[in-house]
Every structure is written in C-alpha cells, then in structure tokens.
C-alpha cells in the first residue's frame, strides 16, 4: 500500500481503536460507553452552539499544530509554540489597543502582521541560537516559554493591567476585532477559523510547491546533503523557526482579536503543547493538521456533555493519549491492518 494512503488511514484507525479501548475503561467504571459516546457526539455537534464552540476551540489548535508540524518538516522540534503564542497575543494587543483611528480593513490585517512578527521574532531567537552555537531548540524554546510566561504575567498586571480581579489588558479597538461569522446566543463564532484554514493552505503550498519548501524539507531530512547541494543550513534554520513562530503568534493574536478582545496573560492554556499532539496526529501534513485540530476541538467540547451523563470528562484525555500513542507507534496499526488482510485472503 502506498505511503499517502497509510498517512491517511493510520490516524483514522487510531481514533477508532482509541475509542474502543477507552470504552473498556468506561465499562470498568460502571458506565455505558454507548451512552457516553453519544453524549460526547451530542456535546460536539448536537447544536449550533456546540458546533460554534468546536470551531472556536479548533482555530488556535490548527495554528499551533501547523507551527509544530512545519518545524518538524524542517527538522526542528519547536516546543515553544506556547511562548510564541503568548508573545504574539501580547504585542498584538499592545498594538490593537491603539488603532481606533484606523479603518478595520487596515487594523485587522496589521494586527495580525504584528502578532505574527512578534511570534516569529521570538522563535527566531531559538533559531539563531541553534544556527550560531548549536544550542538545541528543545532546550531554548522551553526556556523562552518560561520567559514569556513571567513576562506576560508582569505586563498584564502592571503596565497593561486595568480594573480589578483577574489581570487583564484594556479592550482592543473595535476596528481590530474580527467580525464574527455568526452569533449563537451569547457566543460569537469567530472568523478566525477562515484565517487558520488559509494559513494551512499557504503552508501546504510553501512546503510542497516552492523552492524554499524544497530547501526546508531537504534540510530537515538530511542537513549534510542539503549543505552539499548549496543550501544554507543556518539561514534555513532561522527561517523555519521564524515561520513556525509566526504561526503560533497568529494563534495567540486570533484569540485576542476574535474571542477575548483583550490580553489575559497566559491565555494559551496548553494550546501550544497541544500543537505537538496535533502535528503528530496530522502526520505533519497541513491538511491533516486541520482535521486533527478539529478532532481535538470536538473531543474537548463534547466532553462536557459526557460529564452530564456521569462519565468523567477526563476520559477524553485517555482517548487522546491512546490516539497519540497509536499514531506514533504506527507500526502497530499497520501490522494489525496487514493481519486482517491476510486473514481475509486465506
């Protein structure tokens, strides 16, 4: 069977197997898996509101998934999506607070560009360190995550902070807010999803169709051969980190522009790290990543409904963990599939 088909089949089979295995866990705690999964499904897709929440959750996940996946393709393990997301959101907010005088057609794209540039610049620090000194990006991006974490807590309480209670920045200018696609009850379905999907398509084109993509993937696969072929490794490392960081920065920026309308400090809640799982499930393919993010988004959203029928929502963490395990250990799935085919044949 060819590789493309595999890349497609493995995640799907993994999801099915993860649900089956988790149903055993649900049985063990004395609940009915069918009831639980029905609730999960209803929670994610049962109403307009549910679908809107799924899409809101999915949007940043697509972007952090892309950030990590793009890094992987260029041979880099960007664990810093979390920090880049925060920096992107913070600096984009600082910009977007002050753009009331601009029309939306200007304010919206400019805010995005500022957020992306912030994420890119922040990630590029790790890129430069790797290119110049060989410092591994896993270590440096983790360090940068902590710097971003504390810096943002400070910024959101002292220089940018307004009001009492939870630290928060002032609202951004109306002209920089993303227009909602639709409003369901009090929930606004952000148009950020469109931006995220466009980003995925752009990344796909860059990777598969352009000379730069050829160089970046080549460097990721075999830096020695890339260098032999006249590709400048250090330039490409910095560039790849910057693009990856720009995607994370955009994730944070869209949260500000479309959902919270202000900066809330460490708003990310682990979405940067979720990017790693999503990139893995999506097999580092931009289009695969859209679906992987959608899967995560719907599991997260649906799990609340599951809680109502008496199944702890943490079950979805088990489902998620098993999916990741199976995708990472895709040989297991392949072997099972091949067995099945053999059994059928004989």
Positions touching another protein (CB under 8 A) are 209-215, 217-218, 221-222, 224-232
Shortest separation between residue 334's beta carbon and another protein, angstroms: 15
Q: Specify the 3-state DSSP secondary structure of 181.
A: strand
Instruction: Select from 256, 289, 295 the least CA-distant residue to 71.
Output: 289
289's CB contacts (< 8 A; 6+ apart) are 62, 65, 66, 69, 200, 278, 279, 282
Q: Specify the 3-state DSSP secondary structure of 128.
A: helix
Is the Cβ of residue 212 or residue 313 nearer to another protein in the bound state?
Answer: 212
Distance CA 65, CA 285 (A): 10
Instruction: Select from 233, 230, 209 the least CA-distant residue to 221.
Output: 233
Instruction: Determine phi and psi for 196, rounding to 5 degrees.
Output: -65, -45
Shortest separation between residue 237's beta carbon and another protein, angstroms: 16
Is the Cβ of residue 232 or residue 260 nearer to another protein in the bound state?
Answer: 232
Shortest separation between residue 253's beta carbon and another protein, angstroms: 26
Shortest separation between residue 207's beta carbon and another protein, angstroms: 11
Distance CA 37, CA 306 (A): 7
> Measured between alpha carbons, how far apart are the two ends of the chain, in Å?
19
Shortest separation between residue 211's beta carbon and another protein, angstroms: 5
Is the Cβ of residue 67 or residue 226 nearer to another protein in the bound state?
Answer: 226
Shortest separation between residue 35's beta carbon and another protein, angstroms: 45
Is the Cβ of residue 185 or residue 211 nearer to another protein in the bound state?
Answer: 211
Is the Cβ of residue 217 or residue 271 nearer to another protein in the bound state?
Answer: 217
Shortest separation between residue 91's beta carbon and another protein, angstroms: 29
Shortest separation between residue 134's beta carbon and another protein, angstroms: 13
Distance CA 323, CA 280 (A): 10
Distance CA 56, CA 120 (A): 23
Contact of 249 with 117, CB cutoff 8 Å: yes
Is the Cβ of residue 185 or residue 342 nearer to another protein in the bound state?
Answer: 342
Distance CA 289, CA 149 (A): 26
40's CB contacts (< 8 A; 6+ apart) are 299, 302, 303, 305, 306, 316
Q: Where are the alpha helices (DSSP H) in 97-176?
A: 104-133, 137-157
Is the Cβ of residue 7 or residue 151 nearer to another protein in the bound state?
Answer: 7
Is the Cβ of residue 226 or residue 333 nearer to another protein in the bound state?
Answer: 226
DSSP assigned state of 165: S
Is the Cβ of residue 136 or residue 232 nearer to another protein in the bound state?
Answer: 232
Shortest separation between residue 200's beta carbon and another protein, angstroms: 18
26's CB contacts (< 8 A; 6+ apart) are 32, 33, 36, 311, 315
């Amino acid at each position: 069977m060819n590789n493309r088909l595999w890349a497609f089949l493995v995640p799907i089979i993994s999801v099915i197997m993860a649900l089956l295995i988790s149903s055993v866990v649900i049985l063990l705690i004395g609940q009915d898996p069918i009831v639980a999964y029905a609730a999960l499904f209803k929670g994610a897709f049962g109403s307009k509101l549910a679908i809107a929440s799924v899409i809101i959750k999915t949007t940043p996940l697509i972007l952090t998934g892309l950030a990590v996946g793009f890094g992987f393709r260029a041979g880099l393990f960007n664990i810093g999506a979390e920090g880049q997301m925060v920096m992107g959101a913070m600096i984009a907010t600082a910009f977007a607070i002050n753009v009331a005088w601009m029309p939306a057609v200007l304010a919206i794209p400019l805010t995005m560009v500022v957020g992306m540039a912030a994420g890119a610049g922040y990630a590029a620090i790790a890129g430069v360190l790797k290119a110049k000194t060989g410092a591994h990006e896993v270590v440096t991006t983790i360090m940068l995550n902590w710097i971003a974490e504390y810096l943002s807590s400070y910024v959101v309480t002292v220089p940018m902070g307004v009001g009492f209670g939870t630290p928060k920045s002032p609202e951004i200018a109306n002209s920089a807010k993303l227009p909602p696609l639709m409003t369901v009850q009090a929930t606004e379905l952000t148009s950020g999803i469109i931006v995220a999907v466009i980003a995925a398509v752009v990344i796909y084109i860059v990777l598969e169709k352009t000379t730069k993509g050829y160089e970046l993937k080549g460097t990721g696969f075999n830096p020695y051969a890339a260098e032999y072929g006249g590709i400048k490794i250090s330039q490409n490392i910095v560039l790849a980190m910057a693009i990856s960081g720009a995607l994370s920065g955009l994730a944070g920026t869209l949260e500000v522009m479309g959902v919270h309308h202000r900066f809330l400090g460490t708003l990310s809640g682990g979405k940067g790290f979720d990017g790693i799982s999503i990139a893995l499930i999506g097999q580092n393919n931009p289009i695969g990543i859209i679906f992987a993010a959608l899967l995560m988004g719907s599991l997260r959203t649906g799990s609340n409904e599951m809680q109502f029928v008496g199944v702890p929502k943490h079950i979805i963490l088990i489902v998620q963990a098993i999916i990741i395990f199976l995708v990472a250990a895709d040989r297991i799935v392949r072997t099972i599939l091949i067995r099945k085919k053999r059994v059928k044949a004989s």
